[in-house]
């Protein structure tokens, strides 16, 4: 893949395309976005509870299992059998949403909780590029 190192404004101008003479950086998206390839997976965000930190329904989440988890990190975890994406507070044992519409959830020893990894990047899809079905829900 060729990466074109240009800054693009949303406005329209009458200048020639900056891609007419570009410099190849020789990097792939994997190299730019993923630090630990063997410990990284990609998930699909669902819901509105993390919009306060810029994660919207349908965004791709790059989740790294090799990153140390700190309070304030956005994590993906299983909680009582469901995948969740939340902000973690390690000392208080809380999973918090980025919206005041959702109360923090306390992680008790009785809960089925497993930390899956830290969200290191999120990618907004302005036009869906994949279509798949999961648990009778179709994602486009």
Point out the residues that are catalytic. Answer: 49, 86
What b/e readout covers 9-23, taking b as 16+ CB neighbours within 10 angstroms? eeeeeeeeeeeeeee
Give the Cα separation of 90 and 68 in Å (integer): 12
Sign of CA dihedral 97, 98, 103, 107: positive
> Quick check: 49 and 99 in contact, CB under 8 A?
yes
């Amino acid at each position: 893949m060729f990466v074109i190192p240009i800054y693009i404004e949303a406005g329209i101008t009458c200048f020639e395309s900056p891609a007419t003479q570009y410099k190849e950086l020789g990097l792939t998206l994997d190299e730019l976005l993923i630090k630990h390839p063997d410990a990284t997976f990609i998930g699909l965000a669902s819901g509105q509870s993390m919009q306060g930190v810029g994660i919207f329904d349908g965004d791709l989440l790059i989740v790294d299992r090799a990153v140390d988890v700190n309070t304030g990190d956005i994590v993906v975890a299983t909680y009582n059998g469901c995948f969740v994406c939340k902000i973690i507070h390690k000392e208080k044992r809380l999973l918090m949403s980025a919206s005041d519409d959702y109360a923090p959830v306390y992680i008790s020893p009785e809960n089925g909780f497993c930390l899956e990894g830290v969200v290191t990047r999120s990618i907004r899809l302005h036009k869906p590029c994949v279509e798949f079905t999961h648990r009778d829900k179709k994602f486009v």
